[in-house]
Structure 1
């Protein structure tokens, strides 16, 4: 991966000294995890029936256009959110993380603000192509992200809840492809809210180290999420048998680093736990997606983990 990074940096040094910095600010690996949220919401809303009709030749690919718009929307919202994260943290990063693009001077503060604003705007406009409901949800997600960046993340309990709401809103954005289904599937937001709250709580110890009590709470939350995902089997449209192997994989990926961070809450251990937690969100999404739409769809969502891990070896995740 270092070779690819070196080649890319040499290329961009010739063409534009800022491209690499812009990409680092946007955290591409994290954006891929947001795609998984949309695909889960899409499946929960019954969007897979449209895909099946396309395969059977009953519809044209035009019917899938809303899904593509929502994937673009979440890319803009997530990318804009993480860019503003670095904008708000500039002075702190000068001390704690001078290797980041803004304190290092790869991207100017003004350029970062323009980039972040543009990405959030793209996210909202893309959602509007699906409908007013999707646009309203996109605006809410953008606002929640900005509140987290500027205020929420500095609070021990509000921060994790705030970030969880961002990811929950992202899942609702996927469901909004069929707006009426929001009334029937709204409760699904609690899955990403609880899980991301756990990951965010752990991430508060990335610089100075964490607390064993926080790590223990994160483990409890992760177990609750697994139980909740399997518990969705009470729904007529959800098959827990398709979900089970993906849920087992999720538990196997996320629990060991969480346990290790609890036993040894040093910064490096916490950072590894957070990275694993962020990437494992794709596995969690694949479990829910498989329950709603079958194991093949679950595997399709899980395949995003390969892309996200690849990008995670090139670009920072936390």
Structure 2
């Protein structure tokens, strides 16, 4: 299968990462109160909830897959030197075809979002624009690059909250959490090729720690059962800090890459913790069910 054209183009979309983007949407629904509403009205069979969840899940699939595939299109020449095994420089995928595939995926993502409401549609446009901006410009900026990448993920969480525009107007600052987390991953990932980025690793670790404090604080403010978020935060810590500690100790690209991979997959746990903070641990578990799917796909497809 790995020699087929289809597999090569699937590699460009980073399927394991796409699952983490779906988790953004599901957590956004929790923050918006949509899961709580569905639990209250399930007996009436609220089909609109499921349609909205489907449309925005499809939207983020298109946006994320299109954005990361564009990244390989933009990096084709550099990858030919540093990562010649990747689909485009290896010749397994055409740069032109990848460009059109990426473009269509982004358009698909925007169209799906507009099926929910105009707010979601315009948020999808913003996410697509941030993704392309990062692919062609942001990644080359030392300070603005991580912020640019963080805005992509922040917009994705807000896209989920956008199912309820009136809630989005009040709670939009929560989008800072994925921005900080992904900005930290982006900083750390710069050592994947050459290593030796101890300062960035320590800074990333500090940013990770701030996420723990923020999520626990939100749980405390939003729910009397705020302690239920602790198991999710414990799992998150188990996933991201041991690989990061090893990367700091060794300064080797291989271990920095493993730290980045663990942090990317753990975005699902971040979202599960957020869902638990706003809608209770059962919804957190629902989001967490995406984790084994992402881990399985990570064995088949590269994450970084």
Q: Which residue of 1 aligns with 2:157?
A: 171
Q: Which residue of 1 aligns with 2:17?
A: 30
Deviations along 1:22-69, one digit per CA (max 9) or x if unpaired, are: 1001110000000111111110001013321453x1233343211110
Q: What is the CA–CA distance in structure 1 between the aligned matches of 2:257 and 2:281, rounded to whole Å? A: 31
Contact 2:62 2:105 in 1 (8 A): yes
- Cα drift, residue 295 of structure 1: 1.1
Q: Which residue of 1 aligns with 2:94?
A: 108
Contact 2:25 2:156 in 1 (8 A): yes
User: Residue 125 and residue 210 in structure 1: after superposition, are their counterparts in 2 closer, same or farther (change >3 A)?
Assistant: farther
Structure 2 gap ranges (5+): none
Q: What is the CA–CA distance in structure 1 between the aligned matches of 2:63 and 2:108, rounded to whole Å? A: 8
Deviating more after overlay: 234-243 vs 139-148: 234-243
Task: Tell me, yes or no, if structure 1 residue 68 matches structure 2 residue 54.
Answer: yes
Contact 2:222 2:277 in 1 (8 A): no
TM-score by length of 2: 0.97
The aligned length equals: 304
Alignment RMSD (CA, Å): 1.3
Q: Which residue of 1 aligns with 2:294?
A: 308
Q: What is the CA–CA distance in structure 1 between the aligned matches of 2:277 and 2:190, rounded to whole Å? A: 32
- Cα drift, residue 248 of structure 1: 1.3
Q: Which residue of 2 aligns with 1:43?
A: 30
Q: Which residue of 2 aligns with 1:96?
A: 82
Structure 1 gap ranges (5+): 1-7
What stretches of structure 1 move > 6 A for 4+ residues in a row?
none
- Cα drift, residue 275 of structure 1: 0.3
Q: Which residue of 2 aligns with 1:52?
A: 39
User: Residue 63 and residue 223 in structure 1: after superposition, are their counterparts in 2 closer, same or farther (change >3 A)?
Assistant: closer
Equivalent in 196, 204, 216 of residue 218 of structure 1: 204
Contact 1:239 1:292 in 2 (8 A): no
- Partner of 1:103, secondary structure, is coil
TM-score by length of 1: 0.93
Q: What is the CA–CA distance in structure 2 between the aligned matches of 1:82 and 1:88, rounded to whole Å? A: 10
Q: What is the CA–CA distance in structure 2 between the aligned matches of 1:160 and 1:239, rounded to whole Å? A: 34
